[in-house]
Amino acid sequence: MKASAFVYPWDVNGDPAAADFVAGLGVRQATLAAAYHSTRALTPRHPRHRIVTAEHSAVLYPPDPARWAGRAPRPYPAGDWAPGDAWGEAAGALAGAGLAVHTWVVLAHNSRLGAEHPATGVRNAHGDRYPWAPCIAQPATRAYLTGLAAEAAVRPGALGTELESCGWYGLAHPHAHDKTGGVALGDAGQYLMSLCFCPECGEGYGRHGLDADALAARVRRALEPVWRGAPSGGGRAGIARLLGEDTARATLAWREEAARTLQEEAVAAVRAAAPEGFQVLLHADPVPWHCGANAGVDPAHVLSVADGVVVPCTGGPEALEPFAARGVEGAVLAANLTVVSGMGGSPGTLAADAARARDRGATELRLYHAGLASDDDLDAVRSALARR
The CATH number of the domain where 271 resides is what?
3.20.20.80
Higher pLDDT, 143 or 234: 143
Residue range(s) defining the domain that contains residue 85: 2-181+262-386
What is the spatial distance between Cα 155 and Cα 161, in angstroms, rounded to a whole number? 9
For 28, 208, 319, the CA distances from 306, given in Å and listed in that order, are: 21, 27, 18
Question: With contact defined as beta carbons under 8 Å apart, do 122 and 169 qualify?
Answer: yes
What is the spatial distance between Cα 259 and Cα 137, in angstroms, rounded to a whole number? 8
pLDDT digits (tens, 9 = 90+) for 218-255: 999 999 999 999 888 889 999 999 999 999 999 999 99
**Is 196 contained in some domain?**
no
DSSP at 107: -
Residue 182: per-residue pLDDT = 78
Q: What integer is the mean pLDDT of 340-354?
A: 97
For residue 264, pLDDT beyond 80: yes
Residue 172: per-residue pLDDT = 86
**Is 256 contained in some domain?**
no
Nearest to 199 by CA among 139, 114, 145: 139
**Is 223 contained in some domain?**
no
Residue 183: per-residue pLDDT = 82
**Is 21 contained in some domain?**
yes
pLDDT digits (tens, 9 = 90+) for 185-220: 899 999 999 999 999 999 999 999 999 999 999 999
pLDDT digits (tens, 9 = 90+) for 82-123: 999 999 999 999 999 999 999 999 999 999 999 999 999 999
Number of domain units in the chain: 1
Write out the H or E segment, with its range, that includes residue 207.
helix 199-207
Residue 177: per-residue pLDDT = 62
**Is 249 contained in some domain?**
no
Residue 184: per-residue pLDDT = 85
Radius of gyration of the chain (CA): 21
- 127 C-beta neighbours (distance < 10 Å), count: 8
The percentage of residues in the chain with a pLDDT greater than 70, rounded to a whole number, is 98
**Is 186 contained in some domain?**
no
pLDDT digits (tens, 9 = 90+) for 153-197: 999 999 999 999 999 999 988 776 666 677 888 999 999 999 999
Question: With contact defined as beta carbons under 8 Å apart, do 303 and 281 qualify?
Answer: no
**Is 238 contained in some domain?**
no
Q: What integer is the mean pLDDT of 318-343?
A: 98
Residue 388: per-residue pLDDT = 65
**Is 50 contained in some domain?**
yes
Residue 176: per-residue pLDDT = 67
0.75 surpassed by pTM: yes
- 234 C-beta neighbours (distance < 10 Å), count: 15
Residue 387: per-residue pLDDT = 80
Q: Any bridge partners for residue 335, and if so which?
A: 311, 365
